[in-house]
Amino acid sequence: MKLIFEKGKPGRRGFTQARADVPEVKPIDKRCVRKDMPRLASVSELDVIRHYSGLSRLNYSVDTNFYPLGSCTMKYNPKFTERIASLEGFTGVHPLLPQLSGGGMLAQGSLEVLYETERLLAEITGMNAFTMQPMAGAHGELTGNMLIAAYHKANGSRRKYVIVPDSSHGTNPASAAIAGYEVIVIKTAADGYMDLEEYKKRMNNDVAAVMLTCPDTLGLFNPHIKEISDIAHKAGALMYYDGANLNAMLGKCRPGDIGFDVVHINLHKTFATPHGGGGPGAGPVGVGEKLADFLPIPRVVRHADGTFALDYHRHKSIGYIAPFYGNFGVILKAYAYMLFLGKEGLIEAAEAAVLNANYCLSRLKDHYDLPYDKRCMHECVFSAARQALGGVHAIDIAKYLIDKGYHPPTVYFPLIVKEALMIEPTETESKETMDEFIDTMIEIARLAKENPSAVTQAPLHMPVKRLDETKAAREPNLRWQPQ
C-alpha cells in the first residue's frame, strides 16, 4: 500500500482550525523560527480514514484472529472497558490538577481508581503495597530492581549480582543490567526447572536478587520455588517475581505467599487491557512490607474522611520513575475488568487458561516434540526439531499458520528450546477455535513429512510474501524520503 505521504495533493488538508478570535500579533523573534518546515502528508480527512482503515485490515488482531502468542496472554478484551476509558471525566483530567493547592478534590474519581486498583492487586498477589506508575512490564522490572537496590543500600550493603535463569524473558537480564547489576545466568536442568545445584553454588552474599517467572517460560510451575526463595532469603537476597505469567495463578497461588519480595504485573496480559500494537501496557509493581517505604512518589493515600490524596513526603522513596501516576487509561480498564470478573471470575479465568493450554498440549504432543513432557500451566512449549530435520522450521510453521488465518505462537523463545513453538491459547478461546487451530498444526506436521515445500513457501495469501530481513538490517531504510 502507498504511504500516507504518497497520497493526496499539495494543499489538501484533513483538519481546519477555528478562525482566530484574537488580534494578529508580531511574529516571534526570527532567530527562533524554523526554516525547513516538516514535510507532512497533504490529505483530506477521508484520505486519512481510508488510509488507516486500509492499513488496519492488514493486521491480525485478537478481535479478528486466534492469537496464541505465548507469554503475551492475548485474551479477549471486553468492550465495555473501552467505553469506560473513553469517558470525558477520565480522559479530560490534567495530571497536575491534584498537585495544585485546593486541587486535591478535582481528581477524586481518578485517585480512587488508582487506590482501589492497588488494593485489589495487593490482595491478588499477596503483596503489601503497589505502585501503579510503571508503564510496561520492563519498566516495572527496572523499577523493581531500583527498589531492590534501595533496600540493600538502606541495609548498608551494595550487592553486585542479580540471578536469572536462562529461560527468562530478555527483559529480566536487560533490566537488571541497566539498573547497575551484573547478571548471573543459571541454566535449566534436564527436568525443565532451573538447575537447583548450580543455583545453590552461585548464591552468595553479593547477590541482590533472584528474578523468576512463575509459572516459568516453559509454562511449568517450579516445585522447588519455595526452596529457591528460602535459599535467596538466607543469603540476604530478595526474590523478584516477573508477573508475565500471572494469569495461571489467579486465586491458585500468590507470589507473596511463596516469599517473593517484589512483583510486577502486566495489566495488558492478565487483566485484559488491549495490547495496542505494542503498547501502551502497564507494569505496576508490588512489594512486601519491608520494601514499601522505597516505592516511587507520589503514593496515593486515603484519609480518614474517605478522600484520596497524593503523598510526596516519603523520605526513603526512590523518587520519580514516571511523570505522574502511570498509564492511567490502561489501569482504568484493568480495574473495570477486575470488578467485572470478581473473585470467582478471576479463579475461573486461571482455570480455563490452564485447561485450554493443557488441551492444546495433549492433542499436539504426538505430533510435535515436547522437550519437557509435563503438565503445563497457562502455556505449552513444543519444539519443531522433528520437522526441522525435514527442512520445516518453526518459522515456516509460523508462516503457514498465517496463511491459514492464525497468528502464530511465539517462536524461538524460550531460547533454551530448539525450534520453540510457545502456545498460549488463553481462557477466552472456545474448544472449537482451538480444535481448528490444532487440526491445522497436525496438518502442518503431516505436510512436513510428506510435502515440506507446501509449508516452506508460506505465506502465499497475505499482502506480502516473506520479507528480506537481512536487507532491512544491512541497508536501513527507516523513514520515507521525498523524491
Partner 1 sequence: MLKTIGVSGVGDLFKDIPASLRPKSFNIPAGKSECEVTGHLKRLSSKNATDLINFVGAGFYDHFIPAAVDAIVNRPEFYTAYTPYQPECSQGWLQAIYEYQTVICELTGLDVSNASLYDGGTAIYEAAMMALRLTKRNKIIMDSGVNLIYRTMLYTYTSNLSIEFVEIPVVHGQSSREELFKHLDDKTAAVILQNPNFFGAVDDYSDIVERVHKHGALAIASVYPVSLGMLKSPGEMGFDIATGEGQSLGIPLSFGGPYLGFMAAKKELVRQMPGRIVGATIDKDGRRGFVLTLQTREQHIRREKATSNICSNEALCALRAVVFVSLVGTEGLKELAQRNYQKAEFAKNELSRIAGVEVKRSAPTFNEFTVSLPRHANEVVYGMIDKGFACGFPLGRFYKGMNNYLLVAVTEKRTKEDIRKLADGLEAVL
- Which of the residues 139 through 168 are near partner 1 (CB under 8 A)? 139, 141-142, 146, 149-150
Gyration radius (Cα) of the chain, Å: 25
Of 235-243, 274-282, 418-426, 442-450, which segment contacts partner 1 by CB under 8 A?
274-282
- Minimum CB separation of residue 296 from partner 1 in Å reads 7
Tell me the angle at which helices 394-403 and 431-450 cross, rounded to the nearest 10 degrees. Answer: 120
| The pairing of beta strand 238-243 with beta strand 207-213 | parallel
Compute, in degrees rounded to 10, the torsion defined by CA atoms 281, 225, 360, 71: 20
Residue 393, CA atoms < 13 Å, CB-side half-sphere: 7
Show the CA angle centred on residue 189, arms to residues 393 and 414, nearest 5°. 35
Which parts of 368-430 fold into alpha helices (H)?
385-389, 394-403
Binding-site member from 206, 233, 280, 390 for partner 1 (CB under 8 A): 280
483: contact with partner 1 by CB under 8 A: no
Please report, as residue ranges, which positions from 369 to 428 form the binding site for partner 1 (by CB under 8 A).
375, 377, 398-399, 402, 407-408, 410, 413
Could you count the other beta carbons within 10 Å of the beta carbon of residue 376? 23
Query: What gap in Å lies between CA 244 and CA 271, rounded to an integer?
Result: 11
Smallest distance, partner 1 to C-beta of residue 194, A: 15
| Interface segment toward partner 1; rule CB under 8 A; list 195-203, 287-295, 380-388, 465-473 | 465-473
Minimum CB distance to partner 1, residue 189 (Å): 16
Site for partner 1 (CB under 8 A): how many residues? 197
Is 301 an interacting residue with respect to partner 1 (CB under 8 A)?
A: no
Q: Is 315 in the site for partner 1 (CB under 8 A)?
A: no
Closest separation in Å from C-beta 33 to partner 1: 6
88 binds partner 1 (CB under 8 A): yes
User: At its nearest, how many Å lie between partner 1 and the CB of residue 130?
Assistant: 15
- Tracing cell 541497508 back to the chain, one arrives at 475
Maximal CA-CA distance, the chain: 78
Strands 182-186 and 161-165: parallel
Give the footprint of partner 1 on residues 24-83 (CB under 8 A).
Answer: 24-26, 28-29, 31-43, 45, 48-49, 51-65, 67, 69, 72, 74, 77-78, 80, 82-83
Q: Which residue type is seen at 187?
A: K
State yes or no: residue 264 binds partner 1 (CB under 8 A).
no
Cell of 160: 553486585
User: Which helix (H) or strand (E) is 85 found in, with range?
Assistant: helix 79-85
Pick 431 or 449: Cβ nearer partner 1: 431
Q: Cβ closer to partner 1: 385 or 395?
A: 395
Query: Which member of 304, 342, 369, 424 binds partner 1 (CB under 8 A)?
Result: 342
Structural element, H or E, at residue 257: helix 255-258
Q: Determine which residue in the list 129, 186, 203, 336 makes contact with partner 1, applying CB under 8 A.
A: 336
* CA distances, 481 to each of 54, 176, 478 (Å): 22, 38, 9
The residues with which 164 forms a beta bridge, in sequence order, are 185
> If binding is defined by CB under 8 A, does position 467 make contact with partner 1?
yes
Contact pick of 196, 322, 370, 385 for partner 1 (by CB under 8 A): 322
One residue of 157, 200, 279, 391 binding partner 1 per CB under 8 A: 279
Please say which residue, 211 or 389, places its beta carbon nearer to partner 1. Answer: 211
Calculate the alpha carbon distances from 196 to 11, 229, 360, 391 in Å.
68, 11, 29, 36
List the grid coordinates of 319. 523518587
The DSSP secondary-structure symbol of 408 reads: P
Hey, how many other C-beta atoms are within 10 angstroms of the C-beta on 153?
A: 13
**Min dist. Cβ of residue 63 to partner 1 (A):** 4
Our CB check for partner 1 shows the closer of 123 and 439 to be 123
Q: Which of 187, 200, 201, 252 binds partner 1 (CB under 8 A)?
A: 252
Stretch 350-369 residues interacting with partner 1 (CB under 8 A): 351, 354-356, 358-359, 361-363
